[in-house]
Structure 1
Amino acid sequence: MTVEELAAEAERYLAAHYPKAAGDERSKRFVWGEGDDEVRVFQEPDPETEADAMPAIRAWRRGLWEAGLGWITGPPEYGGRGLSGAHQWAFERVVRRYQVPGDSSLTISLGMIAPTILRHGSEEQKRHYLPKLYSGELISCQLFSEPGAGSDLASLSTRAVRGEDGDWRVSGQKVWTSGAHLSDIGEIICRTADGPRHRNLTAFLVDMRAPGVTVRPLRQMTGGAAFNEVFLDDVVVPDSARLGAEGEGWPVALTTLSNERNAMGHSSFGGAGILSTERLAELVRHTPGAAEDPVVRRAFGELQVQLRVARYAQQVAGARARAGDSPGPEAALHKIALSDNIARLGRFVAEVLGPKAAADTGEWGTYAWTSVILGAPGYRLGGGTDEVLKNVIAQRVLGLPRPN
């Protein structure tokens, strides 16, 4: 099938099920006062609101799957179409012309967990989980960080003990788990032996609805609660849910983290469009005097250059992915670029808006930016802290020696 044929197929499906987006795509731009539904530029998701939206998102994915558009690049033996990355890009270009629920709530499922299962899962796990993840039947989260093991993931303390029946019992606490309140399954890394380090960990796929699993939202200073703490109290996990060999959880974790950094580094991470230069240009035009201010104009130009450099790097990574390469340690560069650019964006917006970014005057497109400004520091932690990732780049990309 040619790229053009796939695009035409996608066009027919979307036209039959979803309305066209506005011709000028103003819903994706920074606009003011065009209806009651356009109240905030950004809104930190509320757990209840997200839960209410999930049926539409699941229906969106189920429809794509049934139409053969749910996993365009996936292996046919697991329900994919076996087509190229160019076909996927063509599909995404068509999707932008329609008002669809989108996949922003499925970034972890589709961008991190599913690729890990494809690489490390057993044949049975691949046939069971992959179609359900890509069709939206299952949603997954990543159970890695702990109160005492964030950047140093290998020091985690959540334990899995194997019983005489062959099943495992998992006990411990995970924290900063994005989307746990929405998830059906979670990829968890547990300590299954006392040593040696990095060889005493095992990965599992745990049922997030199983007895002994407790999910509690963590309220952020942005006002949202996208993260959670998860408690596991003697949770039974069958050995068939083990992902990879016993004691080989560290390579599984590295695969997931590489996929996470690659997904986070993408300019459209989370589906928010917050790095849109068009949106920022509209902000400058709307703010009195900003467009004529040479300091603002220079700052906008510098920010735009940084964003474009990051996008070009992503295009290189995309070309490698289409050639069949898995994300490597260089994916850390994309994630660091994202956190740097989010911080630059926050500073730029704060300078342009001034007091309007800190006090809710009711004016469209002002105070709503606070969720971005307040949330910017968190990007330096997600997917591995920037400091840890700089060490990864130094040692695994540049070949520099480890510090003594």
Structure 2
Amino acid sequence: MTEVLLKELSKSDIDWIISTGRRKEIAPGTILMQEKKALDALHILLDGILKVTVSEPEQNPLARAFAVMEDIEPLGREIARLSSGEVVGEIPFISNRSTTTTVSAVEKSLVISIPQQQLATKLQQDVGFAARFYRAIAIIFSDRLQGVINQLGRKNFGKSQPVRDVLCVLGELHDSDIDWLMAAGIPEKIAANTVLIHQGGAVDALYILLNGTMSLSISDDERNPLARAFAAIEGNEILGREIGRLSKGEIIGETPFIDGRLPLANVKAIEDCLVLSISRQKLAAKLQQDMGFASRFYRAIATLLSHRLQGMYTQLSYGRQVYSRSQPLDEMVEYEDELELNVLDRIAFAGKRFDWMQGKLTNYSV
């Protein structure tokens, strides 16, 4: 991951990080980030190995609470390892959710730590730095997502949270950004059984799913990516296993805008769908020409990927509290799908924006 930061950040960005951050060696077992505990700095791993763990069911909530208070590393299931160039503690800069994982040192490691307040101020005052920083975070999250997908294997990880995706995006953008998306985008009807995105194929646009349901699947075809791409162009049936469903409000095709990689899955309409299609060329030009828009867009995508990643981590964790309609809410319990109060206003506002967009575009006819 080292190359991500070196590629995405400018020399002046790196100089600022070096002058602002504090280098420190951490011993094996040291906890850099603990589940549900407040973070006060962003850590960049310069050398060494960190591990990411999620809670095991044997640890009851009271035991976890005392472990946090006493800075004791909780027992947990290891789900990932982080190497040079990875970041830890980025959640406060892109999301109001609490952390769902614990990160600790596997071996003697070297990190540079940037105080949260100083980084937050830099992100507010320097839109160019913000755009590059959020893009780098989005790329790192994209890589982590792929690692979790590979780890989950055949498990269905696409448990949809309708409208959440677009609310993450619309909640971060300005009214002028929304106006631009509406002006630049084209409403398109996607007929049932149409493949919108081919695994390993080119992506021509960013899509917002306004109505309908789509299937997310991974091809089991052993042929090389080029052969699969030509098979798709020729209209041959795509065989694959479904790993998720996409519903109203989902963002589709964002990967090429953050790291240029080809899509890792097929996206196919299950029923007649309506999408807002924003041309890749138009969006790329906008991101290059408008640093303010770029900073907000990449922050929104990083937030979106963070939510997806945290959702997958939750599926790998066994001790989560889940709300059921048959039971009353307990004020002392934090539920897996619970939204924090301080983000409800933004979510409500973003919901109104989406309703407005949907109302403008739903009546579109070819």
Common fold, TM-score beyond 0.5?
no
More helix by percentage: 1
Q: Which has the larger radius of gyration?
A: 1
Between 1 and 2, higher relative CO (CA 8 Å, sep ≥ 6) is seen in 2
More strand by percentage: 2
TM-score by length of 1: 0.27
